[in-house]
Amino acid sequence: MSELDGVPKPEELLKIDYQPPRKGWMDTPVNFKPGTYNYPAASKNHKILELPFPREWSPMEEDWKLPENWKEIVVNGIAERLSKYRSFKVFMDICVRCGACADKCHFFLGSGDPKNMPVLRAELLRSIYRKEFTAAGKVLGKLAGGRELTPTVIKEWFYYFYQCTECRRCSVFCPYGIDTAEITMIGRELLYLLGLGINWALEPAAKCFMTGNHLGVYPHTLKDTLEFFADDIEDITGVRVEIPLNKKGADILFVTPSGDYFADPGTFTCMGYLILFHELGLNYTWSTYASEGGNFGLFTSHEMIKRLNAKIYAEAKRLGVKWILGGECGHMWRVIHQYMDTMNGPADFLQEPVSPITGTKFENAKSTKMVHIMEFTADLIKHNKLKLDPSRNDKLKVTFHDSCNPARAMGIFEEPRYVIRNVCKEFYDMPENTIKEKTFCCAGGAGLGNDENMEMRLRGGLPRGNAVKYVQEKHGVNRLACMCAIDRATLVPLCDYWAPGVQVTGIHEMVANALVLKGEKERETDLRGEPLKELEE
C-alpha cells in the first residue's frame, strides 16, 4: 500500500465536476462552517433577561437540546404573532415571488447562496406557515409550498435569520413593500422561544438591562472615560471641555451609542461631540443610565426593544430636560423613529425641540422629542454658527456610507453630506445604486458584527467594499465616513479586505478637526494624534 492511496490519479482529476449537485432548496441542509455562523448566547444572559430554556449548546453538534414540546412552542409562537402583527400575516400571504428582491441582498450578492435571496429567506418561515396554517398547505404539503417542521428547519432558521442584518434594502425594491427584516425579527423571536439566540446580540442586551449600556459600563467608569477624552482634547487643542453628567435641569439630554465612548475609531467621534458642545456652550447633560443609544433588543424581540429603550424617556423625565439629542448611531434611529413613540411614549413631559443656538424648530421631532445630531449640526452650519477651517482635513479624500437605518428608516441623506462638504474639501459619492435608500449594508449589523462570523461578514460586505474600491481607484478616496457606531467598527475590516488603505471615520470627528475653538492653541495633530498634513502610512 503506497501512502498515495486514496489520492486521485491524473485521469481521475480531469473528471472532477465542479458543479454543485442540483437539489431543491428545501433539500439542501445547512453546513455550519467556522467563520460563517455566530456563537450561541450564553445561558447566563438568557437568565438575566428571563428568556426560556437557558442552556449551553453548540450549532456544530447534532443535538441542539431542544425542549421536548419544541414543535408545539414554535407553532403556537407563529399563531400568536400572526394574530398580534397584521404586517406578519400580510407578509406571509402576499408574496407573488416576482423576484424583485432576489438580487438586492448584500449577503446573496457576496455569497452567491440562493437562500440569501430575501424571497427565499422569507420562504424558510413561509413554508412552515403554509403547512401549519393554510388549507392548501395542510392538504397538498410540498405541492402548495408547505413543508414539515423538523429540527433541520430550526437549524436552517438559526443559520439564515442570523445571516440577515435587517438592513431593509430588499424592501425598497418589493412592489408590495414586504419587509424581510420584520420576517427575520419574527424568525429570531421564534428561535428565542426555544432558547436559541446569539451571544453577540444577547450579551449587550443583558448588560443594557443591568447597567444601561451594551458594555456594562458603570457610572464611575463612564465618568472616567469621558474625563480621559477631555485630557486628550486638552493636549490637542489646549482647551479643557467640561463633562456634564446627570445634570438636573439641563436643556438637553444627549444619548449616543456606547461604541462611541468605548472603541476606536468611534472614540474620536465622541471627542468630536464634546468639543462641539463645549464650543456652543450648550446646556446639556450625559446620563449614566441612558448611557446607550443602541438597542440590541431590536435584534432579539419586540418586547426587548421596549424594555431596553424605556430608560431614555425615564432619564429625560428624571433630569427634567426639555428635549433629547441623539448621536451618530444606526439602528438606534430605527428604534427612535419607528418604535419609541408608540412603545415608550407619549413624551408629553418634554418640549418640541428647538435649537438654543439658531432657534430652529425641529418639527420632524415634534412627537418623539429627539433630534438627530446631523440635523442639529447641519442647522448650525447653515446659520453660520460654527467657525470652520476645512483645510485641517486636507489630507482626507472622503466618501460617505449611508448607514442602513438612518437612510431607510429615517430618510436622512442630505444633512450628513452637507456637513461633510463644509468640513473637508474633497468629497466623492459612491455610485448611485450603492448609496442613499439603496445603500449597501456593512454586513455586521443586527448582532452579526462579531469576529467569529468574519468570513460571512466579508461575503456580505463585498458589495459595499466594491463601491468603496471604485471611488478609491477613481478619486483616491482614503476615508470612509459614516454615522453609525456599528459601521465604525465593522467597516474597518471590510475596508481592510476589500479596499485596503481606506480608513473609517465618524462625521463629528471631522467636524471637530475643522472646528476653530475660542482660545485654542495651534493644532498640530488631528483627534487621532496624527499629523494634520501628511498622510499616515
**Residues found near another protein in the complex (CB under 8 A):** 16, 18-20, 22, 31, 33, 35-36, 102-103, 108-114, 117, 224-225, 227-228, 230-232, 234, 240, 262-264, 267, 431, 433-434, 450-452, 454-455, 458-459, 462-463, 466-467, 470, 489, 492-493, 496-498
Least Å from the CB of residue 194 to another protein: 26
Least Å from the CB of residue 468 to another protein: 11
Comparing CB distances to another protein, the nearer of 245 and 310 is 245
- Bond from prior residue into 346 cis (ω within 30 degrees of 0): yes
Comparing CB distances to another protein, the nearer of 106 and 188 is 106
Comparing CB distances to another protein, the nearer of 110 and 293 is 110
Dig out the grid coordinates for 66 from the structure.
431542544
Least Å from the CB of residue 79 to another protein: 32
Note whether 501 and 472 are within 8 A (CB).
yes
Comparing CB distances to another protein, the nearer of 70 and 159 is 159
Residue 432 DSSP one-character state:
G
Note whether 491 and 430 are within 8 A (CB).
no
Least Å from the CB of residue 167 to another protein: 16
Comparing CB distances to another protein, the nearer of 360 and 466 is 466
Q: 118-133 and 86-94 are packed helices; what angle lies between their axes, rounded to 10 degrees?
A: 100
Dig out the grid coordinates for 350 from the structure.
418634554
Task: List the beta bridge partners of residue 284.
Answer: 252
The sheet that has 252-255: what strands, in order across it? 284-286, 252-255, 323-326, 370-372
Note whether 243 and 226 are within 8 A (CB).
yes
Instruction: Give CA torsion, residues 78, 300, 212, 221, to 10 deg.
Output: 160
Least Å from the CB of residue 214 to another protein: 12
Least Å from the CB of residue 346 to another protein: 38
Comparing CB distances to another protein, the nearer of 102 and 310 is 102
Nearest Cα residue to 446 out of 163, 222, 53, 70? 163
Q: Helices (DSSP H) in 115-265: which residue ranges?
A: 118-133, 135-140, 151-161, 169-173, 180-193, 199-211, 219-237, 259-262
Note whether 482 and 201 are within 8 A (CB).
no
Least Å from the CB of residue 301 to another protein: 26
Least Å from the CB of residue 354 to another protein: 34
Comparing CB distances to another protein, the nearer of 204 and 353 is 204
Least Å from the CB of residue 489 to another protein: 7
Note whether 410 and 381 are within 8 A (CB).
no
Render 265-291 in DSSP notation, one character per residue: THHHHHHHHHHHHHHHT--EEE-SSS-
Comparing CB distances to another protein, the nearer of 22 and 86 is 22
Distance CA 489, CA 442 (A): 10
Comparing CB distances to another protein, the nearer of 99 and 177 is 99
Nearest Cα residue to 213 out of 308, 355, 348, 71? 308
- Secondary structure of 208-234 in HEC code, one letter for each residue: HHHHCCCCCCCHHHHHHHHHHHHHHHH
